[in-house]
Amino acid sequence: MRTGPALLLVALLLAAGPAARAGDDHERARAALREGRILPLERIVESARKRFGGEVLDVDLEDEEDGFQYELKLIAADGRIMKLDYDAATGELLRVKAGRRHGEQRGGEQRGGGR
């Protein structure tokens, strides 16, 4: 999967929230990137892939009280669905929430597949 301007645009669109403030959110995110207050999304995605492998499924850019955060959802190389929160200004990984492997039920059982 190729990252770049299209992936950044997706992040900006997902960060919008309600339509009434969508324009403001987009412009603040664009201004933050332009002014160097946040890192380009492709750097965050590259960091996540190097550390966890797999593919990015979803990206969000949140304007939190303490600054912008990139929120990535990815399927890791081992099949786990992971949610990663990065500080958009520094690229620091703030939080990792790792779920079960794709298709796995509680107790390690796999869904489907017969008897």
Domain assignment present for 113: no
Query: pLDDT of 57-113, one tens digit each?
Result: 999 999 888 889 999 999 988 899 999 999 999 999 999 999 876 566 655 444 444
pLDDT at 96: 96
**CATH number, residue 34:** 3.10.450.40
Listed in sequence order, the residues at least 6 apart from 50 whose beta carbon sits closer than 8 Å to its beta carbon are none
Q: Are 98 and 104 in contact (CB under 8 A)?
A: no
Is 38 a member of any domain?
yes
* 115 assigned to some structural domain: no
Q: What is the mean pLDDT of the chain?
A: 79
Count of domains in the chain?
1
Domain carrying residue 91: 5-108
Evaluate whether 75 touches 102 at the Cβ level (below 8 Å).
yes
Residues 6+ apart with CB under 8 A from 43: 91
How high is the pLDDT of residue 66? 86
Residue 3 has pLDDT above 70, yes or no: no
Q: How far is the C-alpha of 100 from the C-alpha of 115, rounded, in Å?
A: 21
How big is the CA angle at 28 (ends 30 and 59), to the nearest 5 degrees?
Answer: 65
